[in-house]
Amino acid sequence: MTSFKRHIQHHLIKLKSLVKAQGYHSPQLNERLLEVEASNPDCFETALFNFTVDFELIWGNGREGDRDHSVQRRVEYAVKQAQAFPAFIKLLEETRFSASWAVLGKLANYDILPSEDEAFNPAWSKNWYDGQYKNLETNLWDGTSYLENIKKCVAPQEILSHGHAHIDYGDDSVTESVARWDMETSLFELKDSDCDVKGFVYPCNRHNYQHLLVENNIKIIRGQNKNWSITDDLIQTPLGFWISPAIYSYKDIFALIDRAVEKRSFVHPWMHMVECDLKQDDIENFYRPIFEYVLELESKGKIKNVSFDEIRQTLRKTE
Ligand SMILES: [Zn+2]
C-alpha cells in the first residue's frame, strides 16, 4: 500500500505537471518575458539593468475613483515608507548596489505653493496641496533627511525628478502653466538641495508636455512602452515594470534577467518603498538576492547596472 508520504509526493507531481500544462510561469512573468524581447540599441554590448525607487512619502497623492487618496491611506503608506527606508539604504550599502530614485520636489521643499493658475485642481480633488499633513510626525512629510541619506550612500545613487507634487500630467485639467510650474519647481528645488538631476519620471507614468522637459534641459525620461524612443531632443527608455514581492518571487526576476541577458535588453523594475514589507523579510527574501544576482552577472560581463544618465551618455557618444 502506498504510504501517506508517497501519496502526497505523487499528488504533488501531478499538481506540478498540471501547473506546467497551464504555463510554468505566472501570467505576469510571461508578460515581462515578452517585453524584454526588444533588444537595446547597438551601442550597448550587453543587457542593461536599472532599478528605480519612486519615492514620495506622504505627498504621493493620486486618484481613487472620483476623489483623492484618503488621509488614512496616505498616512499608512507614509509610515511604511519611513519604516522601510533605513533598511533599504542599508541593503544598498551592504551590497554596494547603485539604484535610481525618482523623488518629488516636495521632499526638498514642502512649503512652496503654486499660484491659482499654476495649481493642479481637477474636479475630483478636494485640495491637492493640503498642508494638514505637516501636523504629523516630521519623518512622514519632510523629505530632506531622506535626500541626505540617498546622497551620502556609499554606493552612488542617482536622483531623478518625479515632478513636484505628484500631479497627474495626463489629467484633462492640466494646462501648460500647471505642468510648467510643477516640473520647473521640482527641478529647481532638487538642484537647490544639491541633487544633480538629469532625468525625469512622470507620476503614474502619465506623459504630457514633454517639450517643457526638453526646455528645462532634461534629456532622458522613463518611456511609455517596451521600446526605446530616441530623438535629437529626448531619450525615452522602455517603460519597464512595477516590481513587487507580492507578485513575483526572486526566482521569477532571475528568469527575467536571464532572458534579458540572452536578448541583450533592458530590465527596468521600479518600486515604491511601501511595497518593501519588513515583516515579510522582503529585504532578505527578495531585494537582496536580486541585487546580488545582477552584480554577479555584471562581474561576468553579462549585464550592466546603469543610471539613466549613464544610458544617456552612452547613447549620445555614439552619435
Ligand atoms: Zn509616483
Q: Is residue 8 part of a domain?
A: yes
* CA count, 13 A, side-chain hemisphere, 145: 8
Q: Is residue 185 part of a domain?
A: yes
Q: Domain count of the chain?
A: 1
Q: Is residue 174 part of a domain?
A: yes
Phi-psi region for residue 315, left (φ > 0), alpha (ψ -120 to 50) or beta?
alpha
pLDDT at 31: 94
Q: Is residue 147 part of a domain?
A: yes
pLDDT at 6: 66
Ligand 1 centre distance from Cα of residue 61 (Å):
8
Q: Is residue 85 part of a domain?
A: yes
* Ligand 1 (single-atom ion) residues, CB below 5 Å: 54, 203
Q: Is residue 311 part of a domain?
A: no
Angstrom distance (rounded) from CA 304 to CA 199: 19
pLDDT at 291: 98
Range of the structural domain that residue 64 is part of: 4-197+239-305
Q: Is residue 52 part of a domain?
A: yes
Ligand 1 centre distance from Cα of residue 183 (Å):
14
Q: Is residue 232 part of a domain?
A: no
Sign of CA dihedral 157, 83, 125, 193: negative
From first CA to last CA, the distance across the chain in angstroms is 73
Q: Domain containing 39 — which CATH number? A: 3.20.20
Per-residue pLDDT of the chain (319 residues; tens, 9 = 90+): 556 666 576 666 666 656 665 567 888 999 999 999 999 999 999 999 999 999 999 999 999 999 999 999 999 999 999 999 999 999 999 999 999 999 999 999 999 999 999 999 999 999 999 999 999 999 999 999 999 999 999 999 999 999 999 999 999 999 999 999 999 999 999 999 999 999 999 999 999 999 999 999 999 999 999 999 999 999 999 999 999 999 999 999 999 999 999 999 999 999 999 999 999 999 999 999 999 999 999 999 999 999 999 999 999 986 6
Question: Please, are residues 178 and 118 in contact by the beta-carbon 8 Å criterion?
Answer: yes
Ligand 1 centre distance from Cα of residue 253 (Å):
22
Ligand 1 centre distance from Cα of residue 143 (Å):
15
